[in-house]
Amino acid sequence: MTCMKPTFQKVGIVGAGAMGRGIAQVAAQAGSEVLLFDVQVGAALSAQVAVFSQWDKLCDKGRLDAARAASYKARLLCADSLAELSGSDLIVEAIVERLDVKANLFTELESTIRPSAVLATNTSSLSVTAIAARLKRPERFAGYHFFNPVPLMKVVEVIAGLKTSASVCTDLAAYARQMGHTPVQAQDSPGFIVNHAGRGYGTEALRIVSEGIADFATIDRILKDQIGFKLGPFELMDLTALDVSHPVMESIYHQYFEEPRYRPSVITAQRLAGGVVGKKVGEGFYRYVNGIAQISPEAAVPQVDEMPPVWVSPRAARRAELLLLLKNLGARIETGAAPSAQALSFVAPLGFDVTTVAVVERLDPARTIGIDMLVEDAASKRRVLATNPATRTDMRDAAHALMARDGKAVSVIRDSGGFVSQRVVATIVNIASDMCQQAICSPADLETAVTLGLGYPLGPLAMGNLYGPANVLEVLFNMQTVYGDPRYRPSPWLRRRGAIGVSLMHEEE
């Protein structure tokens, strides 16, 4: 919303669907003259009507003055043919997501446009380099990836194909700022930044469900209350809908030649096949009544008449904090080198399962419970406990009741290498670290893209720094031992920084 001359005075938009109309709106607001074209008769006109009504609504709310709205409207026009776009300084394509159709469109455009004009695609999953492969001048072609809804999602990925010239990216980035958006620069690679960095959240949560560790609602609660995500992974998948998100998971996995880190889940494949895709059909991971998710209540806090004494493993993470917490909760704390025959033993591993820890520390597994201490207790709205296959019910109930004494929510899950938050955080941080290792983008752009594009409470690298790069590294090392699965192997970027305690944002000289 600037009065200065925009970097691109005349902008053509091809495709007037959800994305094209949004891009047309912000481009007109930036001061450009916008021509909107769609192959479907009447589509450009109805997009124009929709954008005009957006501006009218803003005027009604007093957030836009009438004179300015009129100037925006005067700058957003419809074209009847592609040829009318030939005078454009920039053409942004937002048509159907098919490589052949997009490549044909750009070949046709190239024969009519000015030599100085820039061509851009809003593709979210195709290779920018591949779309440009048949162009005579691929150096003036780039990816310009907006998010839906465009006026509200204030981030744009500027993607350089193999032959894109640096000045084209600089101009597109400057223009993004004029549209009120924040540009981030990405290398042409599957998923670019946001859709690549977003792989960890859902896939690891699905993995946890598939192992029977916890149900959907418990995982959503834990990640919202412990880490601060606005939506749990299953709420998010219900909102996005699996007919959109499952194909993205498969596509990125295959485009990276079956890299185990991005392996999709059979759970979503099956739900997609069964049409249980999310909120829009009334049923996904949750059932929806009048658009409201039906969530079963949490298990009640058990009634425990006699609380056993408690003992804390000397190797527990945040041991001093855990002891203080137990004291504040009024527990009888044993201080011996080993637990007494009555004691409930708390272990707090990072990445290891409770079972392994009980065996290694020669504890009675029937009286051993795990607690996730990755997150500082004061910073978390929930405590998470894990049983092992031998944990006695009375011991589980005692731990639950004790940890709920001050009113804080408690979830009890089954044993797993790494608790829910440890697994999901470590996976997110590891994928982000590997993106930095591959130089897909700068650490700063990664953080910006993820916070604006995915709405995470923190960028993945800042999240890793908050919980400690060394802790995240430990979770991954130990999970790799528990599962023997290459998906948990730490990225060299994280290994180096975690090992010497340097910020994950730190770029090497």
Q: In terms of CB distance, is 43 or 76 closer to ligand NAI?
A: 43
Q: Considering only residues 13, 95, 402, 458, which one is a binding residue for ligand NAI as defined by CB under 6 A? A: 95
Q: Classify residue 219 by its DSSP letter.
A: H
Q: Determine, following the binding rule CB under 6 A, whether residue 70 of this chain makes contact with ligand NAI.
A: no
Q: Determine, following the binding rule CB under 6 A, whether residue 123 of this chain makes contact with ligand NAI.
A: yes
- Provide the token pair at 237: 């998948």
Secondary-structure percent of the chain, ordered helix, strand, coil, rounded to 5: 45, 15, 40
Per residue, the 3-state secondary structure of 119-162, as one string, reads EEECCCCCCHHHHHCCCCCHHHEEEEECCCCCCCCCEEEEEECC
Q: Which of 17, 377, 123, 431 is nearest to 253 (CA)?
A: 431
Beta bridge pairs of residue 293: 288
What are the helix and strand counts (H, E) for the chain?
A: 20, 15
Amino acid identity at 133 = A
Q: Determine, following the binding rule CB under 6 A, whether residue 453 of this chain makes contact with ligand NAI.
A: no
Q: In terms of CB distance, is 40 or 328 closer to ligand NAI?
A: 40
Q: Determine, following the binding rule CB under 6 A, whether residue 147 of this chain makes contact with ligand NAI.
A: yes
Q: Determine, following the binding rule CB under 6 A, whether residue 38 of this chain makes contact with ligand NAI.
A: yes
* Cβ atoms of 25 and 151 closer than 8 Å: yes
Q: Determine, following the binding rule CB under 6 A, whether residue 158 of this chain makes contact with ligand NAI.
A: no
The 96-115 contact track toward ligand NAI, x by CB under 6 A, reads xx---x---x----------
* Element housing 273 (H / E): helix 266-273
Q: Determine, following the binding rule CB under 6 A, whether residue 459 of this chain makes contact with ligand NAI.
A: no
Q: In terms of CB distance, is 64 or 79 closer to ligand NAI?
A: 79
Find the shortest distance in angstroms from Cβ 43 to ligand NAI: 4
- State the catalytic residues: 124, 145, 157, 195
Q: In terms of CB distance, is 43 or 348 closer to ligand NAI?
A: 43
CA distance 470 to 504: 10
Report in angstroms the alpha-carbon separations of 185 from 58, 126, 303, 484: 31, 17, 55, 35
Q: Determine, following the binding rule CB under 6 A, whether residue 18 of this chain makes contact with ligand NAI.
A: yes
Contact region for ligand NAI (CB under 6 A) — 34-42, 206-214, 232-240, 382-390?
34-42
Q: Determine, following the binding rule CB under 6 A, whether residue 19 of this chain makes contact with ligand NAI.
A: yes
Q: Determine, following the binding rule CB under 6 A, whether residue 39 of this chain makes contact with ligand NAI.
A: yes
Q: Determine, following the binding rule CB under 6 A, whether residue 420 of this chain makes contact with ligand NAI.
A: no
Q: Determine, following the binding rule CB under 6 A, whether residue 236 of this chain makes contact with ligand NAI.
A: no
Ranked by CB distance to ligand NAI, the top (closest) residue is 17
230 burial class (0-12, 13-18, 19+ CB within 10 angstroms)? Answer: exposed
With CB under 6 A, what is the number of residues at the site for ligand NAI?
A: 23
Q: Considering only residues 24, 30, 43, 413, which one is a binding residue for ligand NAI as defined by CB under 6 A? A: 43
* Cβ atoms of 117 and 89 closer than 8 Å: yes
Q: Determine, following the binding rule CB under 6 A, whether residue 466 of this chain makes contact with ligand NAI.
A: no
The residue assigned the tokens 């919202």 is 224
Q: In terms of CB distance, is 55 or 147 closer to ligand NAI?
A: 147
Which residues are at the interface with ligand NAI (CB under 6 A)? 14-20, 38-40, 43, 94-97, 101, 105, 122-124, 146-148
